[in-house]
Amino acid sequence: MEHNISAFPFTANADGSKPNQVLSTGMSLKDYFAAAALTGYLAAGASQENGVVWSYRTAERMLKERVK
């Protein structure tokens, strides 16, 4: 399973010749998971000091769980 897939790709028929042409790849799914984890982490009142490291580790675990 590739970990560098997009969370929000944006496609559109931009010029009429290529239906659903990718116009933007969006953010990576790993970044999206990390942002969601960090939001919960900070909302729970945890310290920002280790939040980013923790959130990316959590995102990696989420990506691994996703392929099971």
pTM of the shown model: 0.68
Contact 55, 40 (CB under 8 A): no
Banded model confidence at residue 16, pLDDT cuts 50, 70, 90: low
Average pLDDT, the chain: 81
pLDDT at 28: 87
9: pLDDT strictly greater than 70: no
Identity of the highest mean pLDDT range in 1-5, 27-31, 43-47, 52-56? 52-56
Rounded to 5°, angle at Cα 48 from 44 and 51: 80
pLDDT at 61: 96
